[in-house]
Amino acid sequence: MKIIQAQLKKILNGIAEAETIEKIKINETKLMMVIFGPMLMIAALTSVIVGIYWAEKMSLAMTVTGTLFFTGVFIIILLHQKLPRQLMMNLISAALFASLVVVYLVYFQKITFLFWMIILIMVIFSNTMIQRTLFYYMIFASLFFFVISLTFYPELVIHVDSISYLSFCVAFLCIIVASIVSNQIYRQIIQKKAMIYAKTLDQKDTLNLMYEDVIAHQQQLKVQNERLLQYNTEIEANQERLEFLAYTDTLTGVPNRKMILEQIELLIDLSQENGNHFSLVFIDLDNFKKINDSLGHGAGDDLLIKVATRLKAAMDERDLLGRLGGDELAILIRRQISDEKVLGYTQKLLGLLGNPFKLGDKSVIMTASFGIAVWPGDALTCNDLLKAADTAMYKAKELGKNSIQFYQKEMKNEVLYKIDLENQMISAFEKNDFFVVYQPIVSVEDQKNVSFEALLRWQVPERGLISPAEFIPMAEEIGLIGDLGEWVLRQACKKIKSVKTELGIDIRIGVNISPVQIKRGDFLERVRQVLEEEKVNARQLTLEITESVFMGNIERAAMIIQELKKLGLMISLDDFGTGYSSLSYLMRLPIDVLKIDRSFIKSLEKGEKNKRIVGSIIEMVHNLDIHVVAEGVEEVPQFEFLNKRKCDWIQGYLFSKPLGDVEMTNYLKAQMEKNS
């Protein structure tokens, strides 16, 4: 019984949960098999008891019993078979019909009325189902048994009259109608339920989709949250990095200018409260630009790193080393120590820089200029203290570099003078206030004019004539030398043309070229442009260069000289003997003229040794097929010595000072008259 109950519960739940009519029909078929199978087996047992009670023939009783039993077993077997639903329904209905025929034929006389009640119950039961197969079989059975009853069994055991038959027919018809109506109602209910269930399923699917969307959004939010956390971490790391970059020099790793200035401001605030003093050391590496130009900026960066590392390792840990920019460093001595101790401390650091630095496969000795300013004695504000230390550093450079200078108030006036002079120089160039004079270069043999040297001059109102030794380096420093040099070259070209037009003669003029000017990438192109625009024969021009042009990159200098000579220009090496490796340059470079520096000529009167040096230079240069010019010849003994040593040309006040335009014209006229 428990097995049957469990099976019934499972089937009823299947009917209740079915979402389609087809699934309801399948479960109804299973329900019929579960009900009719056991009922037929119980009916078989009952048939045995009834047959014995009625003293029927055993063969008849066993026929009924066997039919009912095997029909029940047959239905139970069908329950476990995987057959099409409609086939199973037909088999069940046919089996029930057959069992009813057997029962009717055997027991009709005994249970006529009960039999018809069973038929009616079967009709009602089958009609309440969605599927109609069993109903049709039961209707056919009713008609079949009714005809058989009227034909073969006209008299019933229970006497009924015509009214009873009529009543029975009416009741039977009413039952049929009622069962049909109930079936339609049941079908409508089931269909409505199926629609509601289908709608519920749709809503469930919609909800599932919405739930999946929610889950997907949750996943997206989770991913976005993780990204936000990652971004926050990156932002925090970037903020730390920005703070580091804001206060640290990325090349050397030491504090940068901003950090140094803020530390100075902080020390000023603290020192004002406790009355202490502190010192600022401004450091500039000497000739650092030559390292960049000769070895490249990579080597320059490497040198800065090594300098900062060496200084930092030797400093007191209470002091602060920073990079202000370029090759400028600063040391903030935050301790209160005397000027004598500051000097000893900085001398030690300066001495460390004198040890060679290894840059690739080269060793470089680097010097530096130190400027020291003390708060509050030299300045009261951060900017003024920095300017004071900077001024002291420039004074150290002026005094020969590789030295230390404390700030003095007189230095401020010198700096202001220099700044004012720089501003006036820029203004003078814009207003064309510079002018050129020309100093003759004459032959030693016959004292006739050979050529002229164009010399740049600058006269400043209320200051007078400014020495070229003062304003030329200044022009190089502020980047004006390129334009000034090109202007002088144009003036020389114009003078060559004007002399040709006025006097009908050709002259040669030498123009000094600054090392800064010749190292510019567009130098050759600008020289070509001037020659083309001024329409001057290049053979009438000499470019005078100094040995510093070759420092660091002699190959490039040689290439430039070759290109200049291809244009027809003559090349003169000026100030010979004041630089380094002069003899090696003469061997490697195509020089036309060599000018012995005036310092050698002036030293002739000091002894035989100096005369032998000058004489050796002249002889050596002649052996290289190079002409020699002696500069600064002012006395007759100097001329006589040079004449004896076969010097080619001389230049100096002994024969002529630098000449202006009118004086130069008169000088040339006098030369023409003398030659004629």
User: Is the CA virtual torsion 499, 502, 503, 505 positive or negative?
Assistant: positive
- Alpha helices of 409-480 — where are they, by DSSP H? 409-430, 468-478
**Band of residue 164 on the pLDDT scale cut at 50, 70, 90:** very low
According to the model, what pLDDT value does residue 244 have? 63
pLDDT higher than 60, residue 277:
yes
Give the Cα separation of 147 and 150 in Å (integer): 5
pLDDT higher than 60, residue 188:
no
Neighbours of 417 (CB within 10 A): 11
**Band of residue 176 on the pLDDT scale cut at 50, 70, 90:** low
Give the Cα separation of 586 and 626 in Å (integer): 9
pLDDT higher than 70, residue 166:
no
Tens of pLDDT, residue by residue over 29-85, are 776 777 777 777 777 777 777 666 655 566 666 777 777 778 778 877 877 778 887
Give the Cα separation of 25 and 27 in Å (integer): 5
pLDDT higher than 50, residue 159:
no
| Least confident among 401-415, 467-481, 589-603 | 401-415
Q: Measuring CA to CA, which residue among 520, 532, 428, 427 is closest to residue 489? A: 532
Tens of pLDDT, residue by residue over 572-603, are 988 776 655 456 667 777 889 999 888 888 88
- Residue of 573 and 154 predicted with greater confidence: 573
Summarize the chain as % helix, strand, coil (round to 5).
65, 15, 20
- Alpha helices of 315-458 — where are they, by DSSP H? 339-353, 382-398, 409-430
| Least confident among 273-287, 347-361, 418-432, 644-658 | 418-432
Highest mean pLDDT among 401-405, 459-463, 518-522: 401-405
According to the model, what pLDDT value does residue 85 have? 75
The DSSP call for residue 323 is E
Report phi then psi at 322, rounded to 5.
-140, 160
User: Is pTM, for the whole model, over 0.85?
Assistant: no
What 3 state SS string does 558-583 have? HHHHHHHHHCCCEEEEEEECCCCCHH
Percentage of the chain with pLDDT > 70? 78
Give the Cα separation of 537 and 509 in Å (integer): 11
pLDDT higher than 80, residue 187:
no
According to the model, what pLDDT value does residue 537 have? 93
Half-sphere exposure of 154 (CA within 13 A, CB side): 2
User: Is-contact 634 603, C-beta < 8 A?
Assistant: no
Half-sphere exposure of 293 (CA within 13 A, CB side): 20
According to the model, what pLDDT value does residue 224 have? 82
